[in-house]
Amino acid sequence: MRFDVLTLFPEMFEGFFSSSIMKRAMDQRLVEASLVNFRDYSTDKHRMVDDTPYGGGGGMVLKPEPLFRAVEALTEETQVRPPVLMMSPQGTPFTQKKAEALSRHSRLILLCGHYEGFDERIRRHLVDEEISIGDYVLTGGELAAMVVMDSIIRLVPGVLGNAGSAEEDSFSTGLLEYPQYTRPADFRGWKVPDVLLSGHHAQIARWRRQQSLERTLERRPDLLEHAPLTDEERAWLKQRKSDS
Ligand code: SAH
User: What residue spans define the domains of the chain?
Assistant: 2-153, 168-243
Q: Is 136 annotated as a binding residue?
A: yes
Name which residue sits closest to atom 18 of ligand 1, judged by CA: 138
Residue 135 · residue 80 · CB < 8 Å: no
CATH fold, domain 168-243, is: Trp Operon Repressor; Chain A (1.10.1270)
pLDDT-derived band at 172 (thresholds 50, 70, 90) equals confident
Q: pLDDT tens-digit profile of 127-139?
A: 999 999 999 999 9
Q: Is 141 annotated as a binding residue?
A: no
Atom of ligand 1 nearest to the CA of 59: 1
Residue 4 · residue 34 · CB < 8 Å: yes
pLDDT at 168: 83
Distance of CA 47 to CAs 61, 66, 107, 173, Å? Answer: 14, 9, 28, 48
| CB of 63 sitting under 6 A from ligand 1 | no
pTM of model > 0.85: yes
CATH fold, domain 2-153, is: Alpha/beta knot (3.40.1280)
Q: pLDDT tens-digit profile of 200-238?
A: 999 999 999 999 999 999 999 999 999 999 999 999 999
pLDDT at 11: 98
Counting ligand 1 atoms within 8 A of each CB, the residue from 95, 137, 149 with the most, and so the one to mutate, is 137
Q: pLDDT tens-digit profile of 10-35?
A: 999 999 999 999 999 999 999 999 99
Secondary structure (DSSP) of 102-132: HTTSSEEEEE--BTT-B-HHHHHHT-SEEEE
